[in-house]
Structures are given as C-alpha cells and as structure tokens.
Amino acid sequence: MLRLCSVAERAGIAAALSHPPAAIRCISIVKDFGDGKERNRVLQGIDLRLAAGELTLLVGPSGCGKTTLVSIMAGILSPTGGEVELFGTRLSSLKASALVDFRLREVGFIFQQFNLLPTLTSAENAGLALAAAGASRKAATAAGAAMLAKLGMAAKVKLLPSQLSGGEQQRVAIARALAPGPRLVVCDEPTSALDAASGHAVMKLLRELAVQPGRAVVVVTHDSRIHEFADHIVDMEDGRLVASSADRPLKEHTRKKENAE
C-alpha cells in the first residue's frame, strides 16, 4: 500500500538532498601543546563540516593552526578536546592499530617534507603506501609509476631521489599519497616547490580527484595562484575559523572542461 510522506518527512528529505552527508566533521576541536604555564592553545574550538566531492583550501597566516588542524583531520594528531568524524567514523572510537589501518586505507598525506627513501626509485617510492597496505612490490611499483606518469614524471620513474630536483621529489611524494586512491587527501603546501606549470598540473589532478563522489581534498596553502581550483575556501586566524566561501567560482576553462565531461 502506497503511503504519502508527511510534511515533516518531506522537509527532512529536502534537507538531506540540500545538505549531503559530510565527508569530514570537526566538532569543537581544541588542541593544546605543552603543560601548565607552558601550555599553548593552538586550536580554539573549531567546528567545520566538509562535503564529499569538494576541494577545500585552508588559508591564513603562518602559525594560525592550519597544519595542526589538517593533521587532526587525518588522524595524525589527537585533539585535546572535541571530535573528528571521517566518512561516518569517529576517530576517537578507533584503537591505535585500527586507526593506523584506517589511515592507510582512507587517507593520503601530501606534506612539505618529502620523506623519500634514498635507495628506492621514484616508482618504488610512489608505491610505498600501497605496499604498506599489503600490495605486492611489483603491483605497488606499477601503480606508483602510473601515478607519476599522470604528474608528468614518466621519464623519471627509475631515478633515485638524489637524481631529482626538489620539485620532482615533491611530485613523487604527491604520487605516493594518491596511488592508493584514498577517500581523504590532505595536502600541506603541495605547490610550494613547484613552478607555475607544474603546480597547475598538480592542482588539476587534485581537482579531478576531489570532484569524485565519496572523496574530499583539503589543501593548506599560501599560494594564491591555486585559488581558482577551490570549491570552498576557509580562512583561519589565531586558531579560529574567521571566514569561509562556499562554491568558489572556478576559471571558465575549468568549468567548460567539467561541463564537457
């Protein structure tokens, strides 16, 4: 028997459609470093909700807490207070070993420190996260090489880190984070060591990743050249969110490309 929805039920459905489930929820996040008189409160009660299918830029002056916030989002740091929820999982509910497994499966890290192993080739370094998650060395290296090719590094897959420029090493670190296909990609200044063309290529790839259902990309940056790629820009100052801009307009060529797809 067909049952008509009540007014309240219709309102609930409309609200759900206009507010898709959050990929990331930060609930009253507080972070202190140090103890007693030396205690420094870096994050002062952050509430933030980010939907899947978006690329978010986190901007603000140095020392305002941006890197600390994304590290807490990704489960690298634990908050002093508050909760983080990723794709419906509260990180505080996971034991240490389960949290490590969760990060390997769900989170890709792109940080300023490249942390490449000097005795491995570019492709082997790019496949390390997959290998850590249980893939065979051959499969992990092949996937790393494929991701490097997408970043314009096909000719460098067999080179060691010492044979690469700083920008090339950063692209290997980016490929390592992206190769497993994580649902959350967290980036700390991913274009800082790259020229304009290379930075554009990296952000184009991150943008393509972000618009896929069930995935979110969060980028900490001081690089105003990449604002055009963002759906959402969040400004921080002194450990607080001070402003945000949803649905940031993209450049015309980006919109045309997405419409064509």
DSSP string, 181-217: --SEEEEESTTTTS-HHHHHHHHHHHHHHHTSTT-EE
Domain count along the chain: 1
Q: Is residue 248, in this structure, part of any structural domain at all?
A: no
Q: Is residue 66, in this structure, part of any structural domain at all?
A: no
Question: For position 163, what pLDDT does the model report?
Answer: 96
Q: Does residue 119 contact residue 99 with C-beta atoms inside 8 Å?
A: no
Q: Which residues are within 8 A (CB) of 36 and not within 5 positions of it... i.e. 6 or more apart?
A: none
Q: Which residues are within 8 A (CB) of 240 and not within 5 positions of it... i.e. 6 or more apart?
A: 44, 45, 46
Sign of the torsion angle spanned by Cα atoms 75, 172, 192, 226: negative
Q: Is residue 242, in this structure, part of any structural domain at all?
A: no
Can you tell me the distance from the alpha carbon of 29 to that of 32, in angstroms, rounded to the nearest whole number?
10
Q: Model's pTM, two decimal places?
A: 0.78
Question: For position 10, what pLDDT does the model report?
Answer: 53
Question: For position 249, what pLDDT does the model report?
Answer: 42
Q: Which residues are within 8 A (CB) of 124 and not within 5 positions of it... i.e. 6 or more apart?
A: 117, 137, 140, 141, 144
Question: For position 174, what pLDDT does the model report?
Answer: 86
Q: Enter the tokens of residue 164.
A: 């690469």
Q: Is residue 107, in this structure, part of any structural domain at all?
A: no
Q: Is residue 64, in this structure, part of any structural domain at all?
A: no
Helix axes 166-178, 196-210, angle to 10 degrees: 10
Concatenate the DSSP letters of all residues of 10-65 into one string: HHHHHHHHHSPPEEEEEEEEEEEES-GGG-EEEEEEEEEEEETTEEEEEE--TTSS
Strand partners, 86: 24, 89
Question: For position 35, what pLDDT does the model report?
Answer: 84
* Residue range 203-260, pLDDT digits in tens: 888 888 788 888 899 999 988 888 889 998 999 999 999 876 643 444 433 443 444 4
Q: Is residue 173, in this structure, part of any structural domain at all?
A: yes
Range of the domain at 122: 114-181
Secondary structure class of 110 (helix, strand, coil)? strand
Q: Is residue 81, in this structure, part of any structural domain at all?
A: no
Question: For position 257, what pLDDT does the model report?
Answer: 41
Can you tell me the distance from the alpha carbon of 174 to that of 56, in angstroms, rounded to the nearest whole number?
17
Question: For position 132, what pLDDT does the model report?
Answer: 86
Question: For position 148, what pLDDT does the model report?
Answer: 94
Q: Is residue 135, in this structure, part of any structural domain at all?
A: yes
Q: Which residues of the chain have pLDDT under 70?
A: 1-21, 244-261
> Rounded to the nearest 5°, which phi and psi values hold at 100?
-60, -45
